[in-house]
Amino acid sequence: MSATNWPQMWFHFFRGLYRQLGVLGREIQGKRGRAVVIGVPLLMMGLFFVLPFVIILKISFSEAELAQPPYTSLWAWAEGGYLTIKLNFSNYLLLWQDDLYLGAYLNSIKIAAISTLFALLLGYPLAYGIARTSKAWRLTLLMLIILPFWTSFLIRIYAWIGLLNNTGVINNALLALGLIDQPLQMIRTDFAVYIGIVYCYLPFMVLPLVATLVRMDQTLLEAAADLGCRPTTAFFKITLPLSMPGIAAGCLLVFIPAIGEFVIPDLLGGPDSVMIGRTLWTEFFTNNDWPLAASVAVAMLAFIVVPTLLFEKVQERQEPAQK
């Protein structure tokens, strides 16, 4: 140990330093990577959801006026350097006081709820069948379920007009067969709205149900049969409770967009099937009352957020059982 090996010592020094820098670099890179991964969707949400929502919220507290833009500003500079903020709650009061709006909300909920129920009753057997077929068939059937999405939503609703019209395909066929004397009034009724909503949103019901049913352990049904349970009882005691997360997901995916649906009731619904989406449209484009339209939108959002939160709760409760 008399002569110190300087080159070797320097080599170790630099190698150690290099490694430390490498570790530090990876650390920073990791943190930055995480920030980017979280940040991009956060930015998207902020830019395209939070910011527009804040603008809508702001408009909902203003007053309508004949100007460009057609509403008053919330704040103004008063004499003596005061900043005055005027919050107009009359729009929200009107929503509560005028039967029209409350009626539209309740009607929206009713139509969305009934449509969701029918979508579930139709979608569950469909999903059950798809989940129980062979893998190759399952993929084919799922493709068929998604296939209508390749056509424009609007065109598919127009196609239903052609089917349900008094001179449409269904009525013509029934008349030709002699089953009816005069055309059935189907178009411009709630019935047509239900058909339109169920038809359009059925895939959103079927897909989460298939996902849940496919994941279910089939030996559980064997165990139930082994313990003396007939197939129908086994369905209600085992399959149905275990597919609850899928049912909840499917129902919300249908219910939430159905509440705010505008195109379907407008094209297929009658004059008395007033849904909130249509009311909003009227206030905005016909009456040109932006503040009132904005408050309708905010109230509708509140309506939708409540079931979403409920859904989250159900999911949370189901999660430990799913493990």
Partner 1 sequence: MSQPKRRQIQLAPWQDASAKPFVRVVGVTRTFGNTYAVDDVSLDVFQGEFFSLLGGSGCGKSTLLRILAGFIIPNQGRVYIDGVDVTDLPPYLRPVNMMFQSYALFPHMNVEENVAFGLKQEGMASAQVKARVGEMLDLVQMGGFAKRRPDQLSGGQRQRVALARSLAKQPKLLLLDEPLGALDRKLREHTQLELVAIQERVGTTFITVTHDQEEAMTMSTRVAIMDAGRIVQVNTPANIYEFPATRMVADFLGSVNLFEGRVVGTEGDDLRIRCDAAGCDLLIEMSQPLPEGTQVSVAIRPEKISLIEDAPLTDHNWLRGQVADIAYLGDVSIYHVRTTAGQVVRVQLTNVKHEAVQALTWDDEVVLSWVDTAGVVLTT
Residue type, 166: N
Instruction: From 10-18, 91-99, 204-212, 232-240, give the range in contact with partner 1 by CB under 8 A.
Output: 232-240
Would you count residue 219 as binding partner 1 (CB under 8 A)? yes
Residue whose token pair is 């020094």 = 13
What phi, psi does 3 have (nearest 5°)? -90, 120
Instruction: Centre a 10 Å sphere on the Cβ of residue 62 and count the other Cβ atoms it contains.
Output: 21
Cα–Cα nearest to 193, from 287, 116, 124, 138: 116
SS (H, E, C) 167-204: CCHHHHHHHHHCCCCCCCCCCCCHHHHHHHHHHHHHHH
- Interaction between residue 222 and partner 1 (CB under 8 A): yes
Residue 28 falls in which region: left (phi positive, over 0), alpha (psi -120 to 50) or beta? alpha
How many residues interact with partner 1 (rule CB under 8 A)? Answer: 21
User: Looking at beta carbons only, is 185 or 322 nearer to partner 1?
Assistant: 322
Q: How far is the CB of 226 from partner 1 (least distance, A)?
A: 5
Pairing mode of beta strands 82-85, 75-78: antiparallel
For residue 317, state whether it binds partner 1 (rule: CB under 8 A): no
State which amino acid sits at residue 61.
F
Stretch in the footprint of partner 1 (CB under 8 A) among 75-83, 130-138, 233-241, 276-284: 233-241
Tell me how far, at minimum, the Cβ of 115 lies from partner 1, in Å: 28
Q: Find all residues with CB under 8 Å of 155, minimum gap 6, and list them.
A: none
Q: How far is the CB of 74 from partner 1 (least distance, A)?
A: 52
Count CB-CB contacts under 10 A for residue 1: 4
Residue 302 has a CB neighbour count (10 Å cut-off) of 9
* Distance, CA of 102 to CA of 94 (rounded, Å): 10
Q: Is residue 322 at the binding interface for partner 1, with CB under 8 A as the rule?
A: yes
Among residues 5, 73, 167, 233, the one that binds partner 1 under rule CB under 8 A? 233
Q: Which stretch binds partner 1 (CB under 8 A): 128-136, 190-198, 221-229, 278-286?
A: 221-229
**Whole-angstrom Cα distance, residue 204 to residue 153?**
14
Q: Kindly state whether residue 242 participates in binding partner 1, applying the rule CB under 8 A.
A: yes
Residues 178-217 that bind partner 1 (CB under 8 A): 217
Q: Is 174 in the site for partner 1 (CB under 8 A)?
A: no
Q: How many CB atoms lie within 10 A of CB 156?
A: 14
**Euclidean distance between CA atoms 66 and 70, whole angstroms:** 5
- 230 is a site residue for partner 1 (CB under 8 A): yes
248: contact with partner 1 by CB under 8 A? no
68 binds partner 1 (CB under 8 A): no
> Which of positions 69-88 make contact with partner 1 (CB under 8 A)?
none
Q: Is 316 in the site for partner 1 (CB under 8 A)?
A: no
CB of 94 to partner 1, least distance (A): 47
Per CB under 8 A, 299 contacts partner 1:
no
Task: Give yes or no for residue 226 binding partner 1 (CB under 8 A).
Answer: yes
Select 245 or 269, whichever has its Cβ closest to partner 1: 245
* Residues constituting the chain: 323
**Which residues are at the interface with partner 1 (CB under 8 A)?**
217, 219-220, 222-230, 233, 237-238, 241-242, 320-323
